[in-house]
Amino acid sequence: MSFKSITISIVSTFVFCGVLCSTFVNYGANDCYFLLFPLMVSIGVTSLLAFILSILKGNNFRFKLPDVLITAGVFYYLMRYDYQLHLADWKVIYAAILLLLWYVVRIIFSSLQVSKNIVSVGIVGIGCMLAGWGLLQLYSFCHSNHLLFCITGPFFNPGPYSGYLAMLLPLCLHSLLSAQGWRRYCWLGALALMLCIVPATMSRSAWLAIGISLLWIWGMHKGWLMACRSYARQFPRKAASFILIVCMLMALIFILLFQLKADSARGRLLIWKNTCTAVMEKPLMGYGPGSFQMVYGKAQAAYFAAGNGTMEEKRVAGYAEYAFNEYLQFCLEGGIVLLLLILSFGISVFKRGIASKQYGFCGALFSLAIFSFFSYPLQILPFGIGAVLFSVVCVSENEKREQKVKGNLLILPFSLLLCGGIGFGIYRMRDLDKLDERWYNADTLFSRQNYIAASKGYEYLYSYLNYNLKFLLSYASSLYSEGRYLEACNVLERAKLISCDSYIWNMQGVYYQAASCYQPAEYCFKQSLFLIPERFYPYYLLAKLYAEPEFLNKEKVRQMAIIVMTKSPKVYSNAISEMRKEMSQLLSIYK
């Protein structure tokens, strides 16, 4: 490579790494919508690089099948969104940003000057940085982002953190197997550093993704696939026996992983079951982006209300923020049409990556695909960015030099159009820091019990932040503290559209009860029980509701109180002791 090519590759690598790390920046609130701004700025820098390269260097960009599929998928996703409800505006903005990123990086790689090996070094460097971050958290040199877990990296819990490392490890192994001399020791050290932190995260999904993807990388380098085909043709019976043994071994591994955290696994099976039920009602087109929690909450409540749940399912039922299976979640929100578009895109990218021997990036995508079966990576910004970048590397390959002039004439206005679109996005999102400041001020007023001023602040922010559950709960609490009970209930009606947390029903029931609307309060508490049948708190609230003088029902008071007194808790706490003490007093009054 010439000095000029190396310089372009290094600059491009720094820019790509900046895009990958942009969502790790603490910008404003800990919210996906706010994190879109640093991502947009980093993509803006990338688009300027693409525009400069399209002017200075020969560019052979040509539309291919993956370009058509990702464009069709994003446009279909944008068309299916309900722009009146605004359930998750950040999702459609994010999808549009990823499409812009796709074409910007495609233009850069089609300049024929960017070394994919140098890009790999930068990406693995990010993996080493994240692994070091996790080690510092493990030994308490750095705080984590979750009170219950000591290792989270820049994420909010160990699951996405380990999944992100699982996505980068195949790229590191491929580089190790391809390297020679002293470089092998550098790649070996990077691989060991990333691997040493993964067991501590206790993420079974990540372990599975790492094991299968690394084995696939090793097999591609050693030519196991061709050897297995040849062996199967010569010895079909032995090959069948070997396949049977492998299947039995995999089944044993799955059983062991299931038993490692059995309740968590049963909870995910329940989520998948209810998600499939919801999908069957609208299989073709789905319910629209951002609708998962609203739809899932109705499905789980209906499932338990019909008396279908087993005792194990009732015990492990909880608040499902995600489907814990990206394929099911895409199918619920976008229907089979969206799922087929995504699968077609993934298969076409994978085939092109294998054809160009980009095994490392293919392995990273393969790991992400496996992890997506058991988790929610694409609901978190860094994973989508990584998936787009790795896919572009697999798709982009050196084109014939004869097409240089034609490509250049087309790419200049196209790259300028991309720069304009990203610039417009940055301009529209420029005031997010002020929005975050207003939110912080409203929360401060609320914490200081200045509820009237806080409610005014929340009211101003409502049209901007009515997709955020934390904001809506704070706003409703402020209105309740003012004595505006029914207005608080209306805010919680909005919250039920974006979340299926049973806490919202409990809150709304309490507010209705304060407004002397006892029947709506009873309905709310019962819906909370349908969502999560084994919780103590709704029974406690129902007992207090039935003890209201204007809604008195002594028999139901005793019934609810006895349930609270005798029911075995999933996790015992001081709150349960306090509730049982109050129920004991109620039982002594209403004998």
Looking at residue 381, its amino acid is: L
Amino acid in position 299: A
Beta bridge partners of 146: 149
Residue 352: pLDDT band with limits 50, 70, 90? very high
What crossing angle do the helices spanning 292-305 and 485-498 adopt, rounded to 10°? 100
> What is the distance between the alpha carbons of residues 448 and 212, in angstroms, rounded to a whole number?
53
Question: For residue 28, what pLDDT band results from cuts at 50, 70 and 90?
Answer: low
Taking only the tens place, the pLDDT of each residue in 481-540 is: 998 999 999 999 999 999 988 999 999 999 999 998 999 999 999 999 999 888 888 888
Q: What is the pLDDT of residues 299-350, one digit of tens each?
A: 999 999 888 878 888 888 888 889 999 999 999 999 999 999 999 999 999 9
The predicted pLDDT at position 112 comes to 65
In this prediction, residue 404 has a pLDDT band, given cuts at 50, 70 and 90, of: very low
Q: Which two tokens mark 201?
A: 């995260």
Q: What percent of the chain has pLDDT over 70?
A: 95
**Residues found in the chain:** 591
CB 169 within 8 A of CB 127: yes
The pLDDT tens digits of the residues spanning 130-149 come to: 999 999 988 888 888 887 78
Cβ atoms within 10 A of the Cβ of 262, count?
12
Residue type, 544: K
More confident call, 177 vs 536: 177
pLDDT tens-digit readout, 101-121: 999 999 888 876 778 888 999
**Residue 374 tokens, joined:** 């058991």
**CA nearest 126: which of 174, 176, 161?**
161
The pair of structure tokens assigned to 139 is: 């030994």
- Give the C-alpha separation, 189 to 195, whole Å: 10
Beta bridge partners of 149: 146
* pLDDT at residue 401, as a whole number: 42
C-alpha distances (whole Å) from 580 to each of 536, 563, 589 are: 10, 10, 14
342: region left, alpha or beta (phi > 0 left; psi from -120 to 50 alpha): alpha
Lowest mean pLDDT segment, chosen from 177-186, 190-199, 343-352, 358-367: 177-186
pLDDT at 217: 92
How much is the pTM? 0.90
Give me the numbers of helices (H) and strands (E) for the chain, helices first please. Answer: 26, 0
User: Which range is least confidently modeled, 79-83, 309-313, 569-573?
Assistant: 569-573
Give the separation between CA 205 and CA 299, rounded to whole angstroms. Answer: 25
On whether the CB atoms of residues 486 and 460 are closer than 8 A, the answer is: no
Question: Range(s) for CATH 1.25.40.10 in the chain?
Answer: 432-589
More confident residue, 96 or 314: 96
Average pLDDT estimate for 44-53? 85
Asked if 512 contacts 538 with a C-beta cutoff of 8 angstroms, the reply is: no
Tokens for 20? 């990958």
Q: Tokens 């062991």 — which residue? A: 256
CA separation for the pair 38, 41 (Å, rounded): 5
**Helix 502-514 crosses helix 469-482 at what angle (to 10 degrees)?**
10
CA distance linking residue 447 with residue 462, whole number of Å: 18
Q: Which of the two residues, 354 and 228, has the higher pLDDT score? A: 354
Look at residue 402 in the predicted model and tell me its pLDDT.
Answer: 40
3-class secondary structure, 149: strand
On whether the CB atoms of residues 518 and 551 are closer than 8 A, the answer is yes
Nearest partner of 292 among 304, 309, 274, judged by Cα: 274
Within 10 Å of residue 489's Cβ, how many Cβ atoms? 24
| Both tokens assigned to 569 | 């808790």
Does residue 403 register a pLDDT over 50? no
Rounded-to-integer distance, Cα 41 and Cα 24, Å: 13
DSSP 285: T
Counting Cα atoms < 13 Å in the Cβ hemisphere of 540 gives: 20
The label of the residue with tokens 């603490």 reads: 26
CA neighbours closer than 13 Å in the CB half-sphere of residue 435:
22
pLDDT score of 587 = 83
Nearest C-alpha neighbor of 215 from the set 161, 259, 177, 158: 177
> Kindly report the CA angle at 116 between 347 and 381, in degrees rounded to 5?
60
Q: Give the whole-angstrom CA distance, residue 143 versus residue 128.
A: 18
For residues 324 and 381, the answer to whether their CB atoms sit within 8 Å is no
Cα dihedral 75/79/84/90 (nearest 10): -30
Whole-number Å distance between alpha carbons of 200 and 138: 8
In the predicted structure, residue 419 carries a pLDDT above the cut 50: yes
pLDDT value at residue 140: 83
Question: Domain spanning 432-589 has what CATH number?
Answer: 1.25.40.10
Average pLDDT over residues 80-101: 91
Q: How many CA atoms lie within 13 A of 570 on its CB side?
A: 15
Distance between CA atoms of 302 and 317, rounded to whole angstroms? Answer: 13
Dist CA 321 CA 520 (whole Å): 25
